[in-house]
Structure 1
């Protein structure tokens, strides 16, 4: 009996030692840590396995990296301490500092969740594994700390770590140097501070010059990058270094900071006033994309705040015009330059980045925002638009009075690069932009306050009316020809009955028809029908259409073409 007890005791001791060895050697780590059944790798769903492989690999590699002294990983950054010192106090206007609702911005987590607004095909797409890393350049001036922090964190959180070489924050002489300096504690973030106000263009060039990666990514300071935003951009540039690519820019509401997906049917464009606008693709263009709705979109212009391009190509192409000030016109200039000098611009539907769109700028412009924008725009027009610049001056006559400085170095750059004429750009890149006839007296929208003369979709013998100006041409595009016809396509404004109150109709244009003759009077502020001496009037627009009435001071007779070509 005693011998049997000793044998059982030995077996028990060996069993305990075996279990201890198994646990110590790692064989039971999953059981010990999880408190349950160890999950067999072969039983894991393949998609889940891929995610585990990808995420754990990145996190493990990242956690094993040794951070430089004084640096922290973004999850460990103290958001409350950073944002808390600049929060809006009770009774203060939440829009005063940044022209968006800072109170709502400050409430949000630095890594808040946003909806994945990509097309389903993008979420199933595989990207190249050999993509180049990028330096992300973000310039700012007195940006709300919460918005700036979310921009930085969204880059780090939603980008593969190996593709972010660095984030370069260029502080354009903000009032509080700590806005940027404190963010320098975050991994991969470098902060450069200007010792005077330089503006967007010169600040971006400073950041680009300091960049260590072969690819540059420019972002505004109030953005939030979406899932897998970076890979599709880098892939296009890796395939062709002369591509300059932009994401679809989603909308972050300036009042409540709701994140809303933008349409994928838009391209960047402009009117002859050279103000950027979004153009809807033509029906033919939309139909051609039905088979591949996530294909890159060739765009005549980029918005300018968010884009990716090869660093060496950026330098070869002339960086930015360093004599442009503060903000404005730089997207116009770089868009013309890229296209005319052999490159291309694309919007990449599988890349989504949210942006806070504001109705006005929060910062000051030396000499006023209008003057600065006109100076910058004149520089772009004088260098790149050839004789077509005259349409800009017709649309914005006051711009002629704004000095634009010396452009000799930019003209020499254009010659050295062997760039194409602006006519090539209009014919091959932006054929949708209607070009006025040089002999026309006036062209474009015929405006009355915020409304414009509109065909209302009517054809021959239909009446015309007014509709809110949409700046998209179409039914609101008119020309006052040298023959004194007010013309839309092949239809002209016609006065059939020459008595006051008679409706104005659309009829086929006839060269010598006196019923179709009009002239501008009173400093081009009215349209008078030559045969009746009555003026175009909108007082009956709601009840039946536009009419002609006895000329007088009424606002319903005030009309202005967007371009007056014969001044």
Structure 2
């Protein structure tokens, strides 16, 4: 294969040598199918079988996606018998490889979306897809789904940015497909700089960013473009359906979710409150204002993207960029929306398939610190209380981003909390502990229940939400405006969530002894999970047996003490700042657009805290 380059653009144009793919030339593009201006001709017959029609005119050297030899392209890197199908991409590549590249997926939209008529004069978009060592089948399926599921006049181009993949042909070969342009980095740049590179080359007035392992659903593009056409300051995202990483089953996601985060600044999905869901019953397909987008899939006006400062070009590889752009859009005059009538599937992985210079935890912490230092004002201290180890990670020079914030007259983070994300609980001076109550691998969890609901334990996800609790100075254990309440002062009595009342003795709890057991003050009974599988947590008499735990683990977690209540342990972590005690000492290790993150314990190595260029 010969690759010719323009030095400035590094756009790849390919003169195929079919033998490199083990193909005879006619298998991919038979010479007689081309006329001198590059029009693909096909024998397409009318009802009487007598007509031959020219389907469409393409640029010289381009083919329709239907004519691209998909099997030959995928076969080169296909998983062979005996190979680990998860090794390269951390999803089941064997399942991906055997699926049709243009497979049908369930139409997961609401019925009202199927009857909706979209504006006819919508602007075209440039679709920017960045990738690094992506599975060929997943990448090709993403491209084909864009072309197949989009009105042709609305897709100006698909710009592939190959972030220095090991095999340049992963992207270069795709340059033969209609509307596809390929850029290749000459070194690893990461998601943010690669996306900016693609956006800078875009010819359309609207940008669409997609991850490289997606599948677009029916009429996914029109509702996104319509919202941006109406207001250029809107940044809009589809509902992100789930493509199972093991069997590639396509599953529709809930339409009752918004993007959010906790003070560890890890993205999470928030369920709408019951009141918000009731409000939406009259118009279930109305746009959803969201405090944060997942970051992998969104549409934005091209000029607004530039005006707003593109991406922070000093962020590396991946992570924290969705946090930064979400804060920036809201605080600087724009808005973020999830559009229910737009659905795009995404493969959610449990770990990254690629390496991070310096480690994924360090890179994520560095990027997150940059976002926090620029956009969160004094509220950044809650992040450092939640993730103390982040203070040891240098974050570089942020002056240009601070200058941008001033130039755009952006609002303070306090405004964001009050007007955009009032659901995020801000720790106050009444809290002596704030975070998670942990029991081995499980954490105290509301289980999604509200007033008068029971509580339980669930696998710790270190993302707050249903596992976020505060122990206050007046001895209440609170989740939002609900407190742990003992129904009866006898062993075996259930604990329920009830509205907090200042002098209600049923809601008073305290830590006692060196093992930090949580005891109900009025009954001297301990919070216990022995009945968790049979209806909820209870209070019980303390056990005489206490397991002290691994002292090395306790030291790493900075736990004051660790004990067992009736054989079950709960952990607290002491943090001096603002009399808070936030538990998580974890660094995110998750796939691009969230899902179910995997966490590992953060390192506590001391580094030079001096910030460098």
- TM-score (ref. length: structure 2): 0.76
Deviation at 1:350, TM superposition (A): 1.1
Distance 1:191 1:521, change over 3 A: farther
Deviation at 1:537, TM superposition (A): 5.4
Gaps of 5+ in 1: 1-31, 39-59
Give the Cα–Cα distance (whole angstroms) in 2 for the partners of residues 504 and 296 of structure 1: 40
Following superposition of structure 1 onto structure 2, how do residues 159-308 of structure 1 map, counting pairs within 5 Å?
159-308=150-299
Distance 1:303 1:518, change over 3 A: same
Q: For structure 1, which segment, 115-124 or 102-111, has the greater mean C-alpha deviation from structure 2 after superposition?
A: 115-124
Distance 1:112 1:476, change over 3 A: closer
Q: Among residues 393, 401, 409, which one is paired with 1:402 in the alignment?
A: 393
Distance 1:147 1:437, change over 3 A: same
Q: Among residues 559, 571, 578, which one is paired with 1:560 in the alignment?
A: 571
Deviation at 1:486, TM superposition (A): 3.3
Q: Among residues 315, 338, 345, which one is paired with 2:306 in the alignment?
A: 315
- 1:64 equivalenced with 2:56 (yes/no): yes
Deviations 1:33-85 (A, max 9, x none): 4249x9xxxxxxxxxxxxxxxxxxxxx8x9332422x2211111011111111
Give the Cα–Cα distance (whole angstroms) in 1 for the partners of residues 193 and 388 of structure 2: 28
More helix by share: 1
Distance 1:238 1:531, change over 3 A: closer
Note if contact 1:279-1:472 (Cα within 8 Å) is conserved in structure 2: no
Deviation at 1:452, TM superposition (A): 2.5
Give the Cα–Cα distance (whole angstroms) in 1 for the partners of residues 172 and 277 of structure 2: 46
Give the Cα–Cα distance (whole angstroms) in 1 for the partners of residues 162 and 90 of structure 2: 19
Corresponding position of 2:330: 339
Q: For structure 1, which segment, 123-132 or 304-313, has the greater mean C-alpha deviation from structure 2 after superposition?
A: 123-132
Corresponding position of 1:538: 528
Deviations 1:305-344 (A, max 9, x none): 0000001100110100111111111111111110111000
Give the Cα–Cα distance (whole angstroms) in 1 for the partners of residues 111 and 505 of structure 2: 57
* SS class of match (1:138): strand
Deviations 1:421-455 (A, max 9, x none): 11111111111222211442211332223433356
* SS class of match (1:559): strand
Following superposition of structure 1 onto structure 2, how do residues 25-104 of structure 1 map, counting pairs within 5 Å?
33-35=46-48, 63-68=55-60, 70-104=61-95
* SS class of match (1:168): strand
Distance 1:326 1:563, change over 3 A: farther
Q: For structure 1, which segment, 220-229 or 121-130, has the greater mean C-alpha deviation from structure 2 after superposition?
A: 121-130
Note if contact 1:466-1:538 (Cα within 8 Å) is conserved in structure 2: no
**Residues matched between the structures, number:** 507
Distance 1:439 1:389, change over 3 A: farther
Note if contact 1:492-1:509 (Cα within 8 Å) is conserved in structure 2: no
Which of the pair has more CA radius of gyration? 1
Give the Cα–Cα distance (whole angstroms) in 1 for the partners of residues 152 and 487 of structure 2: 69
Gaps of 5+ in 2: 1-44, 549-562, 582-613
Distance 1:374 1:520, change over 3 A: farther
Give the Cα–Cα distance (whole angstroms) in 1 for the partners of residues 286 and 71 of structure 2: 41
Give the Cα–Cα distance (whole angstroms) in 2 for the partners of residues 475 and 546 of structure 1: 20
Deviations 1:88-115 (A, max 9, x none): 1111100110011111111112211122
Give the Cα–Cα distance (whole angstroms) in 2 for the partners of residues 336 and 319 of structure 1: 13
- 1:115 equivalenced with 2:128 (yes/no): no
Distance 1:64 1:381, change over 3 A: same
Give the Cα–Cα distance (whole angstroms) in 2 for the partners of residues 505 and 121 of structure 1: 42
Corresponding position of 2:591: none
Deviation at 1:478, TM superposition (A): 2.5
Output the aligned Cα RMSD: 3.2
Give the Cα–Cα distance (whole angstroms) in 1 for the partners of residues 507 and 153 of structure 2: 71
Deviation at 1:492, TM superposition (A): 5.4
Give the Cα–Cα distance (whole angstroms) in 1 for the partners of residues 207 and 512 of structure 2: 51
* SS class of match (2:538): coil
Corresponding position of 2:414: 423
Deviation at 1:560, TM superposition (A): 3.1
Give the Cα–Cα distance (whole angstroms) in 2 for the partners of residues 184 and 509 of structure 1: 65
Distance 1:490 1:88, change over 3 A: closer
